[in-house]
Chains A and B, each alone.
Chain A
Amino acid sequence: MTTAAVTTLPITSDLEIAGVRQAVREAAVAAGFSLVEQTKVVTAASELARNTLVHGGGGRLEITRLDRPHGQGIRLRFRDEGPGIADVETALSDGYTTGHGLGLGLGGARRLVQEFAIDTAPGRGTTVTVTAWPRGAWGG
């Protein structure tokens, strides 16, 4: 598997969350995602970007295009240097929120992508990495 150039976007305002949605949409279109596949990954990105802003105090997104013999995928890496998450399992459970949200962002985003990983610890910030593939390319 080879990886293409990385695009980095700042996440410091709700306008930049909208910018993240646009950039992820463009990457998904370029990788040949169907409309439903685009909508899923853009929705996941919107949730994770908002978490980076609201819970992580701002950060950035790296978008990487992945090439496999059977197709192209996209990897999204959201990073912040915020408070981190002490209990990831609890944070992932539906309805759990420490703010005013619905508590569906992390768990919902995980259901919308093929690969999902969180690297975090209290005081060390949070990195959420997700990978999405169009139908047929996953596992190819």
Chain B
Amino acid sequence: MNAATGMRRVSVHRLGEVLLASIQQELTDSIAVALRQDLTEMAAAGTRGVIIDISQVEIVDSFLARVLAEIAAATRILAGRTVVCGMRPPVAITMVEMGLGLPGLHTARSLEDALALVEAGEVGR
């Protein structure tokens, strides 16, 4: 919790060797940047994959898309795949219309599918 803004960071959990970040709050730009820092640092300690659950995220704009792509780029070597899961259909439709992509990221419909993708990435390496 940041006392100045009343906003809390996104908590990151370790599930075995996978990092899971589940975004449950209104995401300000500074909270998104803090998540990038946390995931990058935790991935450096040894990880097979990173999963970011965005099922509660109501919009993805160019700032968040860039931060997500930066997380994938920063963790690729040390942490394998970064998978974004649970994107809401209206969010996906809006991103396509805007011309916004998620370079370097894998996408999955559910957390289960995301875990399977991380496993597949491990086999492929």
Contact = CB atoms under 8 A, between A and B. Distances in A.
Interface string B20-44: 0000001111100000000000000
A17 B32 CA distance: 13
Contacts of B5: 15
B99 interface: yes
Counting contact residues on chain A (CB < 8 A from B), the size range is 20 to 34
A121 B125 CA distance: 53
A43 to B, nearest CB: 5
B99 A17 contact: no
Contacts of A46: 59, 61, 63
Interface in A34-69: 35-36, 38-40, 42-43, 46-47, 50
Contacts, number: 73
A96 B98 CA distance: 15
A102 interface: yes
A21 interface: yes
Interface residues of B, number: 25
Contacts of B28: 14-15, 17-18
8 closest cross-chain pairs (CB), A and B: A108-B98, A39-B90, A14-B29, A46-B61, A102-B62, A36-B90, A104-B62, A14-B28
19 contacts: A14-B28, A15-B28, A36-B94, A39-B58, A42-B59, A43-B60, A43-B94, A46-B63, A47-B61, A50-B29, A50-B61, A50-B63, A102-B62, A102-B100, A104-B99, A104-B100, A105-B62, A107-B99, A111-B97
Given A18-B28, A108-B98, 14 more contacts: A14-B30, A15-B5, A18-B26, A39-B58, A39-B90, A43-B98, A46-B63, A47-B62, A101-B62, A104-B62, A111-B97, A111-B98, A111-B99, A112-B97
